Amino acid sequence: MFLKKFVYVNWGNIPASEFEFGPINLLSGGNGSGKTTAADAIQTIMTAAHDTLFHYNPGQDEATQRGRGKNVRTLASYVLGCDDGSYARPNGAVGYLAAIFHPTQGETGEAFTAVIGVSASIDRAGAQPVARQNDLQFFIFPGEQLTLSDFLDEQVDGQRHVVELNKLPSFLKQRISAGNIEKYETKKQYLRRLYGALRGKHDAVSEREAMNAARTFSRFMAYKPVKSINGFVANEILEAKDMGDAIRSVSDLMKTIYAMESDANQLAQAIQILSNTRGAAERYIDQWIDYNVLEYTAAKSRFWQIRKIT
């Protein structure tokens, strides 16, 4: 599967738009032009903004941002268009991110669209306004390639308004079969289905596989110099393996080998004893035969002497 198109609706400073992806894509521009904002949108789709997986603004130190008076980016702040404390959408907003995936040549899977919808508003109760996330919903649309128009509803005044988050499924049912609208309640359920679809499957992968795949993608997005491909795979992709079971297994094998060695030594001693016993028995038999032959010879000699006398 490859990312064919991405739809942005109320995301940062990016206007509602569709972005077509090719085999190689370059994001360029000055500071504040939206390069990181566009990349964070992709990471949000691929990690479901999971607390243990995603890191917004990859390659920058968020702690340093706080020190410079900058706001740490969140899902809600992106939807509200926050830029260093000022909000482009101060009255609240609904934002959508949609990634359209298409099978590469030779793959048997079908195209699909992954969508994350967020509603957010500004909490002004404190000294400083804070972006608050009100709702977060996850969708997978198997066999469907959504477009920007699927998230904008044209009103009677001719204006196009963003579809309310809780009305999106019913709005899409006007052109999409209900069977192709899959809504997921949790981030892990969404990730399991997302990575199942990316593998060309019609069902979900295991939670462990999905979380590992999402974690790998998140690590890939964060800027880190790669010294060697072997080191990158070992440190960023492969799981740290618990050697406890292997060590216990080797320990059990060593104990078994020691016990077998002890049994072998006992058998060798028993064989030596039997061998010595056999030698002693053979010598006894030879002596017994010699003794009895001598007794027989002496008795025979006495018999013939007595016979001559008589």
Report pLDDT for 66. Answer: 46
In the chain, where the domains are located: 2-228, 241-310
Backbone phi and psi for residue 43, each to the nearest 5 degrees, phi listed first = -65, -35
**Cβ-based neighbours of 85, under 8 Å, separated by 6 or more:** 71, 128, 129
pTM for the full model?
0.68
Report pLDDT for 128. Answer: 84
**Cβ-based neighbours of 128, under 8 Å, separated by 6 or more:** 85
User: Helices 207-221 and 187-198, interaxial angle, to 10°?
Assistant: 80
- Would you call 14 exposed, middle or buried from its count of C-beta atoms within 10 A (0-12, 13-18, 19+)? middle
One-letter amino acid identity for 51?
D
One-letter amino acid identity for 41?
A
**Tokens encoding 128:** 């400083």
What is the rounded CA–CA span in Å between residue 78 and residue 99?
17
**Tokens encoding 19:** 């972005």
**Tokens encoding 88:** 């482009």
What is the rounded CA–CA span in Å between residue 220 and residue 87?
30
**Tokens encoding 6:** 């991405």
What is the rounded CA–CA span in Å between residue 98 and residue 42?
9
What is the chain's pLDDT, residue by residue, as a tens digit (310 residues)? 899 999 999 999 888 999 998 887 888 888 777 888 888 999 999 999 888 877 676 444 444 444 444 567 889 999 999 877 788 899 999 999 999 999 988 888 899 999 999 999 999 888 888 899 999 999 999 999 999 999 999 877 778 899 999 999 999 998 899 999 999 999 999 999 999 999 989 999 999 999 999 988 887 776 555 667 677 667 666 666 667 777 888 888 999 998 999 999 999 999 999 999 999 999 999 999 999 999 999 888 888 888 887 6
CATH topology for 2-228 is N-terminal domain of mukB (3.40.1140)
3-state secondary structure at position 271: helix
Q: Are 231 and 246 in contact (CB under 8 A)?
A: no
Q: Which residue, among 46, 122, 128, 132, has the nearest Cα to 89 in the 3D structure?
A: 122
What is the rounded CA–CA span in Å between residue 115 and residue 18?
13
Report pLDDT for 309. Answer: 79
